[in-house]
Structure 1
Amino acid sequence: MKINLKKLLSLKNVSITELSELTKISRSTLTPLARESNLLGKTKIETLERICEALEVNFSELVYEEVSVKVIFFKKIGGLDKEEIDDCYEAYFICKLSIETQFKKEYLYLSISSTYPLSTKQSLYNVEIMDDLDFLLMERASKSTFEELCIDKMSIFNSADVIKDDLLLLLTRAISEPIKNEIISMQDIFVKQDKWLDASSSIGFRKDERIREYKETEELFILWNLYNELSFDFEYLNSGEINSLPFSYVVDINSFQIKSPSFGKNYNLNEWYNSLK
């Protein structure tokens, strides 16, 4: 167990002498607690409670365990369900955390929802603790590939603090960048080609093949509902500059819609590819 008394005294601008007067605990008892980072084994609970009361802090702010937190399961379970984004994008995730201390190992199951209003471009998150059975049912219901993240955290005392304080920030930081990139790509992705695909071309809109060519005079804007089976390397247009995304998406070919300015209509990828043959 760790004790955070030295830092709290500094933050509260309270001296050992003043704390002694407030708690009626001798300086000889308080001084070692302020000097050491490890909680002395002989320290009484009553002593810690009186310190918390005097400094007006929670018990978990004064005493905590060294904790290693690992995200051992993190998966998107839902998201965009429309052909185009209107004013808001929502995504849903489930997460399983392994929380390990020197003496024990526990699991925490979370449901995370992310809302991204296009007007403000600020992600909002809601996190709830799930029942382990509910988590298991949702985990088994999906065939998505598991995605692993590792997060180290040293000052988590209990599950309530995990949700309330630092770990939530770490989780949202971990998922906010992929979500941001997904939003950008939904709005601005285009695939640039040097020529039209035709029947003699060796590259086509087939599963597990990548789109590499596009007519120079046109811009294709691709929108999708779900992603599942087709792999693409993407570029997106940002303030007139072409930027490469640092990853590829796996998508469902039937959910793509292609909008071409010259055609004046939308094409499903299968329809469009067949029209080129």
Structure 2
Amino acid sequence: MGESAAGARKRLKNLVATTRAVETAIGRVRRTLVDYASEVAEIKELAAVQIEKRNAAQQILQDQLVDDPGAFDPQRGSSANQQLEDALAALYRLSVRRQSADSAVLGDIRAAVATTWEVDPENYPSDRAWYDQAGYQYEIDDALGYSADDYTAEEIMDLFKRYPGEIFPFDVSVSSSTFTDGAVFTLSDTIIGNGSAEPYETGDVVVTTTGTSVKFTVISDQYFDGPGSTIEFSVVEVDGEWVLRKTATAVGANQAAALGAEWAAEQTWNVQADNLRDIINKHGDR
């Protein structure tokens, strides 16, 4: 009877925590959509002004050059042409601003989804091109040189979470100084070599954690792995020794990047494991 009551309390506690998480996510998405709607409305208002200027300039040029070329006024024509160029430039800037707003709202929604629900990566909203539809998986273990006699898995993962900038062998800019649930990190220079890396080498990921793991979920469209792709870094025991395991599932990946993904990942994560060993030696309590 006591065990049943304890189990019921545990289930109720988990249900309350899940409900609160869902409510928080819904509130975050609602605020994101309100801000997005305001931004789009402002862009449309500014665009309407520029469209009016563009149309007026085009009409002047048509009157000057087509309807009555004999009465061409160079000064008026030059002024109209400048107005047209300025209006088109302004419309281009507004289109870039709109694309940025679209990307931001998608990223925020994906981040809320990733930190609240378990969603199949294939079901994430995406705007990938036809040549960015590859997929791959891998699991890579790197021994850390320590056992349970030295540290617990939680202690090692705590160090991993506290020093992201020193552990990862590529640029990491953060919304948080450590790996915490909901933190968004921008990863840069993540592809080995040059050539066709841009724009695929930089992207945003949102973080979810457990006591022994950190998981990245891609929320950017312009990255070599598509939105919803995941990689989990976990400390697990293999043959009596702690290893740092990397478990990746990629969807909507760039075709060229996917071909050498596992080889490139091995090079990158080997360096990461070396860096983590250094952090353990430097900051560990043993």
TM-score (norm 2): 0.26
Ranked by relative contact order (alpha carbons within 8 Å, sequence separation 6 or more), the top structure is 2
Bigger strand share: 1
TM-score (norm 1): 0.27
